[in-house]
Amino acid sequence: MLYHGDCISGIENQLIEKTIDVVVTSPPYNIGVRYNRYNDSLPRSEYLRFLSDVGTGVKKVLSDKGSFFINVGSKPSDPWIPLDVANVMRKHFILQNVIVWIKSIAIPKSDIGSYPTITSDIAVGHFKPLVSDRFLNDCSEFIFHFTKQGNVKLDKLSIGVPYQDKTNIGRWIRATHDLRDRGNTWFIPYETIWDKEQRPHPSTFPTKLPEMCIKLHGIKNCKVVLDPFIGIGSTALASLRLGISCIGFDIDKRYLEISKERIQRFRSA
């Protein structure tokens, strides 16, 4: 179910308390991105008050054992943005996990180890050209995992990493399977986009990101997902792929139209 309108009033008027199992969202970062209907250059205090109000609404509708995943990035000249957002959520939630979304990574062959199929250095993702002699380009963003009490049990094996060398499983006394904990660094590259028409929203995460968040929380413990900033529907698509209902809000009718088109294409495939 997708709603056109402000998520704060929408959550207050459209949703029932403690009926949402997982929230996955990426709010505007307040770094001057050009949206159709939103001013992404608010004074920092006003921006943080806005997100605090969103947090108030999310806390009201999130189940007691629910998970709230919020993806926040920054810009090289202002790295405090995600940390400020996490801090403002402290009065509403417990920060249970901090995940780093790796968008691009370069690994020299000498650091990889002995793998016959790897014959050279690896560089995966979208690296930006040199634009500053002071700041490093951002190749990662934060995903903050908030819960109400900090004690939500997770399904870590649902996104587990297979052992490449299974001979060392015996070192781990508690290992009863061939999957390891993925940990808190997730490499999720963007899909290659050749023109702006293929990316009608200026700032959106890959569908795999909300899919991994939902899986980590536990599909069997999730019936309804909420994205207060649904944009072009990546969270909705991830939810549908997992057989879970999704509720989303956005103030931009055009983005909602694109969301519905993407959902329709998925259902028709």
In DSSP notation, 219-236 reads GGG-SEEEETT-TTTHHH
Residue 212 lies in a domain: yes
Whether residue 125 lies inside any domain: the answer is: no
Residue 133's pLDDT is: 87
- Give the domain CATH number at 217: 3.40.50.150
Q: Is 88 within the bounds of a domain?
A: yes
Q: What are phi and psi of 61, to 5 degrees?
A: -95, -15
Structural domain contains residue 82: yes
Give CA–CA dist 202/207, Å, rounded.
Answer: 15
CA distance 194 to 211: 24
Q: Rounded to an integer, what is the distance from CA 202 to the centroid of its chain? A: 16
Is 109 a member of any domain?
A: no
- The pLDDT value recorded for residue 32 is 52
Residue 157 is predicted with a pLDDT of: 94
- 165 occurs within a structural domain: no
Structure tokens at 94: 């417990």
The count of C-alpha atoms lying within 13 angstroms of the C-alpha of 64, restricted to the half-sphere facing its C-beta, is: 0
Q: What distance, in Å, lies between the first and last C-alpha atoms of the chain?
A: 20
Q: How many domains does the chain have?
A: 1
Please tell me the predicted confidence (pLDDT) of residue 92. 97
**Predicted local distance difference test score (pLDDT) of residue 195:** 47
Contact 124, 189 (CB under 8 A): yes
Cα–Cα distance measured from residue 208 to residue 229, given in angstroms and rounded to the nearest whole number: 17
CA angle, 249 then 220 then 60, to 5°: 40
Do 253 and 4 touch, CB atoms closer than 8 A? Answer: yes
Packed helices 44-61 and 7-14: angle between N→C axes, nearest 10 degrees: 20
Which pair of tokens denotes residue 81? 């943005």
The span from the CA of 265 to the CA of 269, in Å, is 6
pLDDT of residue 50: 93
For position 194, what pLDDT does the model report? 43
pLDDT score recorded for residue 168: 59
Residue 155 CA: distances (Å) to CA of 5, 98, 123, 175: 33, 16, 30, 15
Query: Look-up: residue for tokens 């979304």?
Result: 101
Residue 175 DSSP class: -
pLDDT tens, residue by residue, 101-141 = 999 998 998 888 777 888 898 888 888 888 888 988 888 99
Residue ranges, the chain, pLDDT below 50: 194-195, 201-202
Domain that holds residue 43: 2-100+144-156+183-268
Confirm whether 112 is domain-assigned.
no
pLDDT at 202 (0 to 100) = 47
Is 50 contained in some domain?
Answer: yes
